[in-house]
Chain A
Amino acid sequence: MDPIIRIERLSNAFGKKKVLRGIDLEVAPGQILGYIGPNGAGKTTTVKILIGMLSSFAGKVTVCGYNVALHPLKVKQRIGYVPETAALYDTLSAMEFLLFVGSLHGLDEALTESRAREMLGLLDLDGEMDKRLASFSKGMRQKVLITASLIHNPDLIIMDEPLSGLDANTAVVVKEILAGLARQGKTVFYCSHVMDVVERICDRIVILSGGRIIADGSFEELQEMSKASSLERLFTQLTSEGIHESTAARFIRTFNGGKTAHG
């Protein structure tokens, strides 16, 4: 089957700083891919390029069969995206916002409304969907964002920390939704810093560091390679030099050693 994402020799830079240094990656439909890496590794930049938001890059990126640089609209039509930090139109109600998103995708209003009503209802927002987003808590906003990313039934779902702010029950539901969609042949591109979630739900893990891919495989494969017991340990082994304990101790010692009078 044709890969849904094909990245060839992708690199990009902001000014003099290189963010991505030659990435090659192919993702097959039906995969849940965990895309992880330390802060500043280039995860968000990769995502922005994948969804056609950022066009200044070198290399070739094909998503859903279209070259992103040439046909960004075709790509955008077929992906769903949950950004890490998203703005919402606070003065709109959740339903109005979803209707808006639906019409940007060219969906029929009645269809969007019935889908939105059902989806929000399943995520326990029955009574809230006509209230303004300004009054929503972090978790409720996240539910709206997730619904907005799925409402047009995309083939590729790209999520950046989608579970942040969600309560444990909803997080379980969302994880189940992703697994179910993957079984139907949809692809999930999952960016996160929460290692145990990635370890559990992703059937393939890509670790990015310094703009390069430094590991790629299923958790079991990566485990064999490094003999680490968990993804978290494996991650720290690969991306730092295991100095965490002493860093933490020194951090706490600043209270005593520092010059400030506050205790």
Chain B
Amino acid sequence: MVDFILRLFDRLGWLLTRLGVDRQAFRAILEVKLLQDQRRTIAGIQDQNAKKKPQRALMMSMIIYAFVGTLIGLIIFWIQSPLVGLTFVNSFIMMMMGFLMVADFTTVLMDTTDNTVILPRPVSGRTLLAVRTAHIVIYLGLLALSLSAGTLVMGAFAYHPLFPLVFVATLALSLLLVVFVVFVFYMLAMRIVDIERFRDIILYFQIFMSVCSFGIFQVVLRIIDLKEAKTLSIDDAWWIYLFPPAWMAGPVELLVGNRGLPQFILTGLACFVPVVCLLFVVRVLAPGFTRILGGMGSSAAAQEGRQSRGEKLGAIARLCATLFTRKGEERAAFQVVWATVARDRAFKLATYPSLAMVVLLTGLMVFGDLKDGTLSALGDSRVYLLNLYLVCAVAPAAFGQMRFSEFHDAAWVFYALPVRRPGPILSGAFKVALARFALPLYLAFAIFVVAVWGPTALWDIALVGLILPGFLLLSAYSLGHAFPFSKARTGQQSHRGAFLLVLLILLAGVGWAHYGLTHVAYGVPAAVVIVFVLVVYGLHRYRSISWFMLETD
């Protein structure tokens, strides 16, 4: 696999040379990066020479993306105009790529962990940036391919036998465009603000971008009336020239024989804009890249730039700790994890976009249904159930990230201290996910729901409040147990998007089951009692997790 990819890039050697990239260094770094990715997923030091296991996490995401992508792609059979249909499909694919790029691959781009390996060596900023880009594009490309696999096949029937070829080409162009738009923003921001502020800006940008990409797609979904869309034509709409997903539909239009002026303009835009972006990044922005990384990695810069105020846990943290945890290991872990998630930028980068997405989706579900009316009309429906369940996705999303850290080596303390069993420590982290991330949202929605639907909703809210830790328990067990901040983030943790999708689908299922219960007399109160017992028992079991149950690394 690694060999194949490297040979693929060897083919592009002329391009790399033209861009001013040192080919030998490029190949060496890329090879090492891919080798590491491949080996990290093979467990254990002891079986170094064991056969390569498939990279399961990546495979799982690819399967899920292929499934979701096929569902989305079905629309091209319904909509007559390839321009409209493909604009729709492309906006979905580009949205997902944009989200993955900012949420998952920013860490790859801005990786400072190997500064001491790379930066003292004669590697130019351009070369390093090129390698990082290639590394990202490989994974992003795989995911984009799986997202569009269904469309590739279906398009061949719906449009033209040669459609897959053209579509793959436009896919590559979209990929370039997404990657480079994000780069341009980062590089410009790095030039304008100092490094300390830049880290914060990346965070806000990531949240903003993820919200935007999902937001736009949601809006498109809601605006397009499926009946109208069947025969809709957007050839003469002005905005298609500003909307990249529409550009990428241009070449396909040409393929099926719609050869008007708009189609040629779109095709032109699709071909040239990504290339211009590429040149701009490489020529103008890339040279200072290694210096920026050097500055970012310098711990002194990080400490001194921000006047470190005497850090102490706030009153809320201490209150939550006393309310939710038992004295001893559990409380200590709770406090440390609470403080770390508040301060560790890498954690925020990985988590907040997902959280923002959940909040946004929930908001859209509530207010999207306000089309024809008022809150009182809303009061008659039981839509709040689904909204409440979306909140349940927040805690697993945050908890799943708590095992990762740049400084995962620091987890030696857990092994050095007289810890009888890891359970209480894990449960400390578990409770931070609940108290810090889920609780505020849950309370906010609960208040909103009671305000709109009245006290009859209280039983439902109680049930959701119990499902919340129950669901987190389920995800904790399915993730495997690991000490907080004890694992390294790897280049291919891109299963997060897929993880979230599965979570949301599962939660929707639970939501519908709950909805079904509301039609049974005393169904909900009975469920409250049963789930309460299960959760208490589950938490007890979780707190007594032994050393043997820890995930080995």
Contact = CB atoms under 8 A, between A and B. Distances in A.
Given A89-B36, A103-B24, A53 B120 contact: yes
Interface of A: 14-17, 19, 44-45, 48, 51-56, 72-74, 76-77, 79, 81, 83, 85-89, 91-92, 96, 99-101, 103-106, 131-132, 134-135
5 contacts: A52-B120, A76-B123, A89-B32, A100-B32, A132-B48
Contacts of B27: 103
Given A15-B307, A92-B32, A104-B29, 10 more contacts: A14-B301, A14-B303, A16-B307, A53-B294, A56-B295, A96-B32, A103-B25, A106-B24, A106-B122, A131-B48
B39 interface: yes
Contact of B298 (A48, A131, A134): A48
B40 A89 contact: no
Nearest to B121: A104
Contacts of B29: 100, 104
Q: Which 8 residue pairs are nearest across A and B when measured between Cβ atoms?
A: A14-B304, A103-B28, A91-B39, A76-B122, A104-B121, A81-B120, A77-B122, A83-B116
A14 B296 CA distance: 12
Among A51, A53, A134, the one with the most B-chain Cβ atoms within 10 Å of its Cβ is: A53
A87 B123 CA distance: 17
Given A86-B116, A89-B114, A55 B121 contact: no
Contacts of A106: 22, 24-25, 122
Nearest to A74: B122
A16 B300 CA distance: 12
Contacts of B123: 73, 76, 104
Among A16, A73, A99, the one with the most B-chain Cβ atoms within 10 Å of its Cβ is: A73
A83 B114 CA distance: 12
A101 B119 CA distance: 11
B25 A104 contact: yes
A54 B298 contact: yes
Contacts of B300: 14, 19, 44-45
A73 B22 CA distance: 12
Given A79-B120, A92-B36, A132 B294 contact: no
A85 B115 CA distance: 11
Contacts of A134: 45
Given A89-B114, A132-B45, A53 B119 contact: yes
User: Interface size class for chain B?
Assistant: 35 or more
Nearest to A56: B295
A104 B45 contact: no
Among A16, A44, A48, A88, the one with the most B-chain Cβ atoms within 10 Å of its Cβ is: A48
Contacts of A79: 120
Contacts of B36: 89, 91-92
Contacts of B303: 14
Contacts of A74: 122
A102 to B, nearest CB: 8
Nearest to B298: A54
B419 interface: no
Contact of A87 (B40, B113, B291): B113
B117 interface: yes
Contacts of A17: 304
Given A73-B124, A92-B36, A15 B304 contact: yes
B368 interface: no
B325 to A, nearest CB: 22
B523 interface: no
B24 A87 contact: no
Among B24, B119, B122, the one with the most A-chain Cβ atoms within 10 Å of its Cβ is: B122
Contact of B45 (A54, A88, A99, A135): A135
B305 interface: yes
A87 B305 contact: no
A48 B117 contact: no
Given A48-B294, A55-B294, A104-B29, A91 B40 contact: yes
Nearest to A85: B116
Contacts of B5: none
A28 to B, nearest CB: 23
A135 B307 CA distance: 39
A76 B113 contact: no
Contacts of A135: 45
Nearest to B117: A87
A219 B37 CA distance: 49
Contacts of A132: 39, 45, 48
A151 B425 CA distance: 45
Contacts of A81: 120
Nearest to B288: A55
Nearest to B44: A134
Interface string B41-72: 00001001000000000000000000000000
A19 B121 CA distance: 25
A77 B122 CA distance: 5
Nearest to A81: B120
Contacts of B114: 87, 89
A53 B128 CA distance: 14
A215 B88 CA distance: 71
Given A14-B304, A87-B117, A104 B298 contact: no
B35 interface: yes
Contacts of B121: 76, 101, 104-105
Contacts of B25: 103-104, 106
A10 B117 CA distance: 25
Nearest to B300: A14
B233 to A, nearest CB: 54
A91 B35 contact: yes
Among A79, A85, A100, the one with the most B-chain Cβ atoms within 10 Å of its Cβ is: A100
Contact of B120 (A15, A76, A96): A76
A176 B300 CA distance: 33
B2 to A, nearest CB: 12
A105 B24 CA distance: 9
A86 B409 CA distance: 13
A19 B305 CA distance: 12
B45 A53 contact: no
A89 B48 contact: no
A87 B45 contact: no
A74 B113 CA distance: 24
Contacts of B301: 14-15
Given A54-B295, A104-B29, A104-B121, A14 B305 contact: yes
A103 B123 CA distance: 10
B429 to A, nearest CB: 25
A245 B327 CA distance: 39
Contacts of B39: 91, 132
A52 B288 CA distance: 12
B123 to A, nearest CB: 6
A91 to B, nearest CB: 4
Interface string B385-411: 000000000000000000000000000
